[in-house]
Structure 1
Amino acid sequence: MSDSAPSLNITLVNPPSQAVACLPANYTINITEVGGVNATFDLKLLVSESPDFATYTEYVVEENANVSAYQSRLFNYSLDTSSLTEEKTYWVKAVAFNGTIPLNESSACQLLVVGGSFDFLMELVEPATGSITVHQGETATYTVRITLAPGQSGGRVYLHAQISGTPFGWDVGSVCLCQSNPQVDVDVEVPTESLAPDTYQIQITGQDYPGDHSHSVRGYLVVQPPPPEFRFTVDLTLGETTPTQGELVPCAVTVTRTSAGGEGTVRLTLNIFYDGHTYKTIQLSPVSLNDDNPSETIVYTLNTSEMLPREYTLQAVGECTINGVLVRVSSPERTMEVQPPPPPFDFRLVLNPQRVEVYSGSSVDVLVVASWVSGSPREVQLSLQGYPAEVDWSFNQTVGTPTATSNFTALLTLNIGQIEGTYQLQVVATSGTTRKTANLTLTVMLPPSNFVYQISIEPPSKTIPRGETAIFTIKVSLISGDPEEVQLEISGLPSGVDYELEPTYGTPQAGSDFVSTLSIITSEKAKPGTYNITVTAVPERAEQKTVSIELTIKETAPIPFLIIGFTAIGASVIAILVLITKFLAGKT
């Protein structure tokens, strides 16, 4: 392979020398790469009316075409001749381009475009009745359908229109028919400016270029006198002449036909001025006036939110083209003075009371008052936040409007579940983007206890020697009310004395007392004497009760003991046993 640019030999293989207008001319292009380089290029067919190709028309055969080194390739292309003129010779050549730069080209060959003799069919499809009625000066349009006759190859059909009884005739143009495009609809416009009111026959003739085949269709044209000249008036009515900034103002524009007849479409604008300057021009929907609709009103809603407080002048303008002349009609000027906006709506939110104390299981009412402060009154909506799950709440009304003369008052009802504690609730009132809150302190207490009981102890007093244990029985009995759990507490123990209590808590029931065993344990360090020990009953909610025990601790009685002495004399052991017995308190 070579690193040089590709070298191409381009040849038109047996190019056609003649083609029938509107039928394809088929070309075969042979390209051989002789430079030893793979070639990529855009292949085009150039058609010119002169052999020097000073001007030409490009037809793309293939973009990014490829031919391998030292290889040949054939390209086929059907040239559309519908834009070429009969009985005229054209020059055709194939050119390979790299972008816009030609790489090589074929020799140019001539192509003679001739008219083809072929047959076709014609029919008038619009109007279906074949007759059109217009006013003088208007244009009538007929639609003719031209179809390639069976078995024909095709060609170009030239059309001509003629108004019978008049010298008016004109060439309509031409159409191409072929196997790929066998049918064409053509609109033929007939002007009536030069025709007197009467009935005319319109003949539309088509023929092939040689003139071997010719066909015609006929229609009728009824020209009526021109309608009366259309005249109209425009009026403007404002729904509000002193709106507050931000208010919507309806602007009614009424267009009325004032001529005895005629019809027209009026294009409308609404112009707004201040101090001689144009503030805004607004395009409105057009209105069509005729015998069935001699007057029409359209309403435009003007938003004054972006208009500064000042005086404005408004005027509606209607435009209509009448007999080729633009006619402009204006409404009377209307004055509108935009007022400054009122202060924004504001209100105050108050609770009565702001603190409530309530027992669990009950309910409480709080008065909520929203009072107007300023601005145009607006609707206020209430809600509650921060409440515990055990609290159900409701407003007797959640929406209301406070005014300068009347407050919006609602009653908030709180139904309290089985909870206890203090909670911070928040009543929220919203109106648009305005939000007010009021804090409510809710304290929930357990209801008073109805638990009535008594506590007793057996024995009420006891005397024990130091180092021994005294046993007491504590009994808690239900007298009336709802049972509560009772916790027992011991106090007043002297130094060197401890206790055991089993159990420490329990719940007395009707017919079943709560019984606990108290063991008071004295040690050798306990000081003899008489002590009052207090047993306290601590219910869940009822009042505490106490009972006292009188405990006397006496000196400990000594126990017998042995003193054994050992004397060793030689291998003999003499044991002397001394037994000392001492009696205390009548004991041996």
Structure 2
Amino acid sequence: SPGNSLSITIDGTTMMLCNPPEVMNQESTFISALEAAQTYQIIGNKLKIAYAGGVLTFTTNQLPPLPPFDFTINLLPPTVTVEAGQPANFQISLTYSDIAYSGTTVTIQVSGLGPGMTYQLTAQGGLTIQTLPSTSSGTYPMIIIGSAQGVTHQIGGTIIVKEKPPEFDYSITISPQTRTASLGDVVTYTIAVSVVSGIPEIVSLSLTGLPGNVQYKFSENAGTPAFSSTLTIDTSTMTSAGVSAMTVTATGGGLVKTANAELIVEEHTDFTVSITPSNVYCDQGESVSLTVNVNKLANFDQVISLRASGLPTGATPTFSPESGKPPFSATLTIDTLESTPTSTYIVTVDASGGGKTHSATTELTIRDKTGAPSSPDSETGQSGFSASSFLENPSNLMLIIIAILIFVLIVMLLRRGRTPTQRATQPSTGYCPGCGAQIKPGTEYCTSCGKHID
């Protein structure tokens, strides 16, 4: 030390009682010698301190020499995979050649990073590599370099950047967008939720825009796209007709999507359909016309379309007009071919519109060109005889009338008990076998005696 002097101060003393007592005496002697020290001398590993009471000698243990300063760098994990724009985190640790070197400052640098990448070190050995959203996907090697007291070491690491997946997105649709119903009907809509991009997440559905007292439900309140849900609305809980502008809201993945629809609720309306005449006749190869009448009930205001079915082979129906808003009339013309099978057919006219369908029927009889009734082996497999077509022929009607008159005449004659021939051969008068009184022919009882005349 400067001036060849040695300063010794007493920082403290032990407060612990040691056994045996000689140990405590040794401590007291040691402290007293230090306080009264006059000179010192260092010889090898010995320190001699002279004081008034004598000389106090300290001997140090000889330690082995320290190894040369060195260190190694450790990196965990050696490889980190991140999405573009995300940080890659590593942990750096140091191992020294001897514990005596612990705490020696080692300067760390990172090289070989990908374009635009930056790094940051923490006092605890943390290493963060920041990538950019524009960083291309791929593998990026890097080198960590450490330097201290002229010693330099390095270790390699790897960053794997993968392409960032697209953000989750979805779409929502509702069909139909407009529905018309009568008060009291139950109506349905279909909601479809589809994936546009990204990894699907749960999407929930809700509805607004209906009057507060209207009951409705989704078949699926939530789901993972793609999925569909049926919205059912019961209009019987509505107090009056009207138009409701509805909004179906889908919420999921931090996004909110909407789809709009309209519900038109009307007072109960309907229509009727009829066809005249109720039966018609048509010869093969000819045409026949009928009238279809469509009338509305209440405020029905929808277009009605007409369609015919039940016609035989070779018969073609034509409506004029084919559709319209009631009330209206249409002419149904049925054209046949000469090959159209003869028989009687039930033709059905269907009228459809406004979500409703009603029907009317008529009887169509196809006759051969002579006007004879259809044969039993007709297309329908039913008997070819038609009473209406038989009566339509004037000759047949006259035969029936003559037959009826003859039948009535015969009955009258039989009731009189005589045929015309018998009446011509009988005498004009007769006599009672009982009393001999004269009686008229045909008398059953004698007017004189009351006897039965055989």
Q: TM-score, normalised by structure 1?
A: 0.31
- Larger strand proportion of the pair: 1
Bigger share in helix: 2
TM-score normalised by structure 2 residue count: 0.38
